[in-house]
Amino acid sequence: MKVYQKREKGIGALYDEVYLVDGARTAFGKLCGTLAQVSPTDLGIFASRAALNNAGISGDEMDQAIIANIGQASTDAYFLPRHIALYAGLPMSVPTLMVQRICASGMETMITATEQITLGKARSVLCCGTENMSLSPTVSFGNRLGYALGRLNFKDMLWEALNDTAAGYPMGLTAENLAKKHHISREKCDLFAKRSQELAQAASENGYFSGEITPLNSTIFEAVGLKPRKVRLPRGMTDFTCDENIRPTDQESMAKLPPVFAKDGVQTAANSSGIVDGAAAVVIAHKSVVEAKNLKPLSRIVASASCGVDPQYMGIGPVPAIEILLEMTGLSLAEIDLIEINEAFAAQCIACEMELGLERDKLNVHGGSIALGHPLAATGTRLSLTISRALKERNAKYGIVSACVGGGQGTAILLEN
Name the band, by pLDDT with cuts 50, 70 and 90, for residue 150: confident
pLDDT at position 167 is: 80
* Residues 295 and 53 sit within 8 Å (Cβ to Cβ): no
Is 90 exceeded by the pLDDT of residue 152? Answer: no
Percent of the chain's residues with pLDDT above 90? 93
Cα(first)–Cα(last) distance of the chain, in Å?
20
pLDDT at 98: 98
Burial class (CB in 10 A: 0-12, 13-18, 19+), 162: middle
pLDDT for position 76: 94
Q: How far apart are CA 110 and CA 20, in angstroms?
A: 9
Q: In this model, does residue 191 exceed pLDDT 90?
A: yes
Q: Could you tell me the pLDDT band of residue 143, with boundaries at 50, 70 and 90?
A: confident
Residue 137 class from Cβ within 10 Å (0-12 exposed, 13-18 middle, 19+ buried)? Answer: middle
CB 387 within 8 A of CB 415: yes
Q: List the catalytic residue out of 103, 127, 307, 349.
A: 103
Active site residue 352: no
pLDDT at residue number 244: 97
Closest to 135 (Cα-Cα) out of 267, 245, 42? 42
Cα–Cα distance for residue pair 182/174, rounded to 1 Å: 12
User: Can you give the three-state secondary structure of 327-385, one letter per residue?
Assistant: HHHCCCHHHCCEEEECCCEHHHHHHHHHHHCCCHHHECCCCCHHHHCCCHHHHHHHHHH
Query: For residue 50, is pLDDT > 90?
Result: yes
What are 221-230's contacts with CB under 8 Å, separation 24+?
221/42, 221/45, 221/87, 222/87, 223/86, 223/87, 223/89, 225/92, 226/86, 226/87, 229/41, 229/42, 229/45, 229/83, 229/87
What number of other Cβ atoms are within 10 A of residue 132's Cβ? 27
**Fold of the CATH domain 16-136+211-241+274-292:** Peroxisomal Thiolase; Chain A, domain 1 (3.40.47)
pLDDT over threshold 90, residue 236: no
- Does pLDDT of 195 surpass 90? yes
**Catalytic residue selected from 128, 189, 307, 404:** 404
Q: What b/e string do you get for 308-332 counting C-beta neighbours within 10 Å, with b at 16 or more?
A: bbebbbbbbbbbbbbbbbbebbebe
SS3 325: helix
* 102 DSSP 8-state letter: G
DSSP state of 209: G
For 44, 203, 351, the CA distances from 360, given in Å and listed in that order, are 32, 17, 12
Which whole number is the average pLDDT over 96-123?
A: 98
| Average pLDDT in the chain | 96
Q: How much is the pLDDT for 90?
A: 98
**Strands 64-68 and 96-99: what pairing?**
parallel
Amino acid at 46: F
Sequential DSSP letters for 9-30: TEEEEE-SSEEEEEEEEPPPEE
List Cβ neighbours of 284 (8 Å cut-off, separation of 6 or more): 18, 19, 20, 21, 110, 113, 114, 117, 124, 125, 127, 301
Residue spans of alpha helices (H) in 78-229: 80-87, 105-118, 157-161, 171-182, 186-205
pLDDT one-digit tens code per residue, 291-332:
999 999 999 999 999 999 999 999 999 999 999 999 999 999
pLDDT at residue 228 tops 90: yes
For residue 120, what are the contacts with CB-CB under 8 A and spacing of at least 6? none
List the domain boundaries for the chain: 16-136+211-241+274-292
- Residue partners of 225: CB distance under 8 A and separation at least 6: 92
d(CA 388, CA 368): 15
User: Degrees (nearest 5) of the Cα angle 297, 301, 302?
Assistant: 135
Segment 392-412, tens digit of pLDDT:
999 999 999 999 999 999 999
pTM over 0.95: yes
Confidence band of 151 (pLDDT split at 50, 70, 90): confident
The phi and psi torsions of 137 (rounded to 5 degrees) equal -85, 160
Number of residues written out for the chain: 417
Handedness of CA 87, 88, 91, 94 (dihedral sign): negative
Say if residues 304 and 411 touch (Cβ distance below 8 Å). yes
> Which region, left, alpha or beta, applies to residue 402 given φ > 0 means left and ψ of -120 to 50 means alpha?
beta
241 DSSP 8-state letter: -
